[in-house]
Amino acid sequence: MMARWTNSRYLSTLPRVVNVSGKKRYSVPFFYLGGPDLEINCVPTGLDKGGSPQYLPATAEQHYEEMYDAAYSAAGVSI
């Protein structure tokens, strides 16, 4: 969401959890930021002069769905 707000000027930190147990492990993150209808747009300070947003506006719900789809696709899981 930070990338969408800042036109990729600022990116979210990648998780740094290392599983050393040798067993499968699941992570269940919890994110709380706005209601599902909150519209996410690039903030004016995220654009260079004359630049345009890299991301289309989306609601918080749409953004989360995109991120979940990308994460599960990368893991080879279809939902």
* pLDDT tens, position by position, 43-56: 999 898 889 999 99
CA angle 22, 66, 72 (to 5 degrees): 25
Average pLDDT over residues 25-38: 78
Looking at residue 54, its pLDDT comes to 94
| H or E segment to which residue 40 belongs | strand 39-40
Give yes or no for residue 11 having a pLDDT over 90.
no
- Burial grade of 63 (CB within 10 A; 0-12, 13-18, 19 or more): buried
Over residues 9-15, the mean pLDDT reads 81
For 58, the 3-state DSSP assignment is strand
pTM of the model: 0.65
Please, which pLDDT band fits residue 37 given cuts at 50, 70 and 90?
very high
Confidence class for position 32, pLDDT limits 50, 70, 90: low
